[in-house]
Structure 1
């Protein structure tokens, strides 16, 4: 897996992405079958806007993907364009009954990951600039 660098996963103490206890339990279940996984927040094509869970070796993190943070020790990425639309939002990964996305590791478990969200309040800093993989080499 190629990991795109990103700035802090937090906005002055507030994580950009969190998970409910149900999501953390499903992550642990999936990791028994696939120890190294990652999430990519879907942008709405084939699987709506579901958080997609992939084996880390089967997904190439793109140059324009942003790392939001980690949940249960698992990195969570989002495309730069999606990040720009949701930059003032904290994502909360949850679980509901149903089928997961076609290519997501939650598929076939009769539970699926779901993204909930809340807007950062006025007192929470959320103006973290986007750093893409190609930008890090220029800054170094």
Structure 2
């Protein structure tokens, strides 16, 4: 079982964003408002905090998560999905009418 996966619909949205914005990066911090929300940014000029660790890639896009969350989720598979509607974030997909979300399940 892979540590980081994405649904087919999430990959479709990622590919759309790559076409429109070029190189991307995902960041999942531990902030009070965005703790389980993957936020997608253009990678050019985006600063990655030393408090984030790379846990893998989805659709060729690096996915960073807060060190403490990574420890908490070390036995979990992370599934990135997308839903229609605007999320409350600065993530690129919100302008397209989508919102990324993170689900997790125990790795067997």
TM-score normalised per structure 1: 0.71
Number of equivalent positions: 108
Corresponding position: 1:80 with 2:67: yes
Find the counterpart in structure 2 of residue 17 from structure 1: 4
Q: CA deviation at 1:54?
A: 0.6
SS in 2 for 1:107: helix
Q: Is the 8 A contact 2:28 2:35 kept in 1?
A: no
Which runs of 5 or more structure 2 residues have no equivalent in the other structure? Answer: none
Consecutive aligned runs of 4 or more in structure 1 exceeding 6 Å deviation:
none
Find the counterpart in structure 1 of residue 22 from structure 2: 35
Q: Is the 8 A contact 1:23 1:93 kept in 2?
A: yes
Q: Is the 8 A contact 1:100 1:108 kept in 2?
A: no
**What's the C-alpha RMSD, in Å, of the aligned pairs?**
1.5
Higher Rg: 1
Q: Which has the higher strand share?
A: 2
SS in 1 for 2:36: coil
Residues 103, 26 of structure 1: CA spacing in aligned structure 2 closer, same or farther, 3 A cutoff? same
Q: In 1, distance between residues paired with 2:88 and 2:22? A: 19
Find the counterpart in structure 2 of residue 26 from structure 1: 13
Which runs of 5 or more structure 1 residues have no equivalent in the other structure? Answer: 1-13, 122-140
Q: In 2, distance between residues paired with 1:101 and 1:66? A: 24
TM-score normalised per structure 2: 0.90
Q: CA deviation at 1:53?
A: 0.3
Q: In 2, distance between residues paired with 1:80 and 1:93? A: 18
Q: Is the 8 A contact 2:28 2:34 kept in 1?
A: no
